[in-house]
Structure 1
């Protein structure tokens, strides 16, 4: 893989991707908005793993910043062999009556940036005859959970189409579809998940390890854990009316008052 570029590298799955790639002796390019966290992480990775960690501060809602990251992906100096499009966040609002600017911000980060960066990476990698693109999706892509589901459904479909186009080029495209995972994701999005039992949760280390193993094997759709693979298979064959009913039920659970609300 050579050098790997990870977006959203300062926290959550992005942080775990950075550590696992570094400990596997890959140089890394760390992309996020928080320069202080990225700089601290880069120093830790270099000291612990003996690799080179490059900091690239960028806000993926800003077209100029996205263009700078795309330019890094096109660079022949320390070429990027793996792009991990990981950046994302929970919207945590109803679409109707919600903040439109927040919706557009989410679209920029989880759709537009994925498209622009994948385009830059794919062109550079195909020219070299090798490389991999890993997009972080979600099992939510199969559900009816508002615009977050819609964004992740786009990521899944886009990655499959890209994989078809990249066949026989030496470059692969993979989408990893985790379920609920213990990271800072829900806390940062101020999403109360206390109603969900521990059995539904995955840990970030296993999700990332599965994703990277599937990238190495050229798998297109990666779904960590047997229980989420089983769930995904059932959801794909279930009537969409049932999926919409699950979406309504999930909303009812998340809207239910907790002890903290009382």
Structure 2
């Protein structure tokens, strides 16, 4: 993860100018390919039988067995715009459950890790979600799942932000999802929600938050799976309030 992050850090700096969607997509792919050139062979050597999720923006269930769900440049569009909010993520998924994840932040050198049943850590220091018990005193966050989202999802996102602006203390909105979820796992943010979304942008944070003592569900409070249409990660003490607000 650190080696792939070093490649992206060397490519980071000035805003990458683009005039068309095609130019933007080529720049995004160039970043992905540069990091994948490091990540893919090394991860494959660690788990030779694990298959590879080829499309990072896809959602839904995976076939049985082990899979690597990787986002080589999570927050890629931020990287191209000279913004610092980007990371390298890799998650090992077994029978649709994340069992191991690492999220590396190349600009700070920090690495967040989690192993199912063994806790969540920032550079080896245990993480714990916040002790918040009131949505009205909480900082919450959401993220845009993907560009060109279905109109129904976009309107639902807008309505949920409005509802949270009434009920929460502060609402943060930005991409990527993973960076918000790191903050939930570390107790800096009290809840994160998102409608729709890809496996690669939710699985790392889902494991980190769960192993840090948080609650993971869909926006209605039901168990979350990669097939769910919504996602909520929250401190246990205010999870029910968050569900009530998002379910209105």
Q: Structure 1 length normalisation: TM-score?
A: 0.28
Higher helix share: 1
Greater per-residue strand proportion: 2
